[in-house]
């Protein structure tokens, strides 16, 4: 207990007395965590985009011929509802379809006014609870009389999933690489600190200090530096991200038709990741760099 108290006291004193070195270490860990944070945010956002992209395609739309009556459409709806994996099915009129179009066209909707009559067909919309049932639903729907066409979006979904999967795997690979790089960078920075105190360490050994007694303050110092760096980088990443959400958020909504992950949600998660990560990087760095000096 007294040793732990001693280690903390010494670590604070050393970080303060050794300001230049401490600031250098904090800078390098912070830089690493910043880059890491950006890739983390990218990965999370791509993940979210993928999820919402999947959500959009959980609907199969069955276009009906104009002469198909409402009654036969109702029969189709009943039989579609009995298929497993279908959560709901309903009749979607051509007027509703036009209204949806107008909404999605927004300010350009006036262009639709030039149309003499509604060219859109009546349709049945089916929502799926299980995406893999899409093919079954489509092939059954195609056998119904009075069906004009069932567009199959499965291929498109597969394509999107493949791309986003690639992006996420790439981001994870880069994150792993960055963690390794930061441990190396930090252990080198701490090694400079230890090297500067090599003589001190040898003196401590002469006076009869145990290895853990010597290591304690350096270890705590590394962890303290890692802790500071984590706090700084969470702050910086969040400030930057909040700005990005503010600036790009609205436009990205139109462009990707998905929203960005809210800043508050990310802060808690980044905090939970960065703090242990920063502290472990600092601790690992000092242990690695001290090993050589504590052989005997």
Which residues here bind other proteins, judged by CB under 8 A?
2-3, 6, 14, 17-18, 199-200, 203-210, 213, 296
- Measured CA distances, 111 to 23, 53, 102, 105, 155 (Å): 61, 28, 9, 9, 31
Q: Please name the residue that has the structure tokens 């992006």.
A: 167
Residue number, 10 or 133, with CB nearest to other proteins = 10
Q: Toward other proteins, which CB reaches closer, 177 or 212?
A: 212
Residue with smaller CB distance to other proteins, 194 or 284: 194
List, in sequence order, the alpha helices (H) in the chain: 2-17, 19-56, 70-81, 94-105, 134-143, 154-196, 198-207, 211-256, 263-290
Report the C-alpha gap between 38 and 271 in whole angstroms.
Answer: 14
Helix (H, G, I), strand (E, B) or coil at 173: helix
Q: How far is the CB of 43 from other proteins (least distance, A)?
A: 43
Tally of CB atoms within 10 A around 102? 15
Provide the minimum distance between the beta carbon of 241 and other proteins in the complex, in angstroms, as a whole number: 40
Q: Shortest Cβ distance from residue 217 to other proteins (Å)?
A: 11
User: CB of 6: closest distance to other proteins in angstroms?
Assistant: 6
**What's the min distance (Å) between Cβ of 291 and other proteins?**
14
Nearer to other proteins, 14 or 122 (CB): 14
Looking at residue 123, what DSSP letter applies?
E
- How far is C-alpha 253 from the geometric centre of its chain's CA atoms? 17
Nearer to other proteins, 99 or 200 (CB): 200
Q: Coil, strand, or helix at residue 121?
A: coil
**Smallest separation, CB 195 to other proteins (Å):** 14
Task: Tell me the closest approach of the beta carbon of residue 207 to other proteins, in angstroms.
Answer: 5
Nearer CB in complex with other proteins: 142/210: 210
Query: 13 or 172: whose CB is closer to other proteins?
Result: 13
Sheet containing 123-128: which strands, arranged edge to edge? Answer: 86-92, 123-128, 59-64, 147-149
CA dihedral 102, 104, 109, 111 (to 10 degrees): -100
Integer Cα distance of 46 and 282 in angstroms: 30
């Amino acid at each position: 207990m007294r040793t732990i108290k001693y280690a903390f006291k010494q670590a604070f004193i050393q970080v303060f007395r050794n300001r230049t070195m401490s600031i250098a270490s904090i800078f390098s860990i912070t830089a690493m965590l910043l880059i890491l944070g950006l890739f983390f945010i990218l990965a999370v956002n791509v993940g979210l985009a993928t999820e919402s992209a999947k959500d959009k395609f959980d609907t199969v739309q069955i276009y009906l011929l104009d002469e198909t009556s409402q009654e036969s459409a109702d029969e189709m709806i009943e039989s579609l509802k009995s298929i497993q994996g279908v959560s709901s099915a309903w009749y979607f009129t051509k007027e509703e379809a036009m209204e949806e179009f107008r909404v999605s066209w927004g300010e350009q909707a006036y262009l639709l006014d030039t149309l003499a009559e509604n060219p859109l067909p009546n349709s049945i919309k089916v929502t799926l609870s299980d995406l893999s049932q899409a093919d079954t639903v489509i092939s059954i729907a195609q056998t119904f009389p009075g069906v004009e066409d069932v567009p199959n979006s499965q291929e498109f979904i597969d394509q999107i999933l493949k791309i986003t999967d690639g992006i996420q795997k790439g981001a994870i690979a880069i994150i792993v690489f960055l963690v390794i790089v930061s441990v190396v960078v930090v252990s080198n920075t701490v090694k400079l600190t230890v090297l500067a105190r090599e003589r001190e360490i040898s003196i401590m050994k002469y006076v009869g200090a145990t290895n853990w007694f010597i290591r304690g303050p350096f270890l705590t110092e590394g962890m303290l530096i890692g802790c500071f760096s984590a706090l700084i980088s969470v702050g910086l990443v969040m400030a930057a991200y909040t700005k990005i959400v503010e600036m790009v958020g609205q436009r990205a909504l139109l462009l990707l038709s998905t929203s960005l992950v809210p800043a508050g949600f990310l802060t808690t998660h980044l905090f939970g990741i960065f703090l242990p990560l920063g502290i472990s990087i600092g601790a690992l760095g000092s242990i690695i760099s001290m090993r050589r000096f504590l052989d005997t």
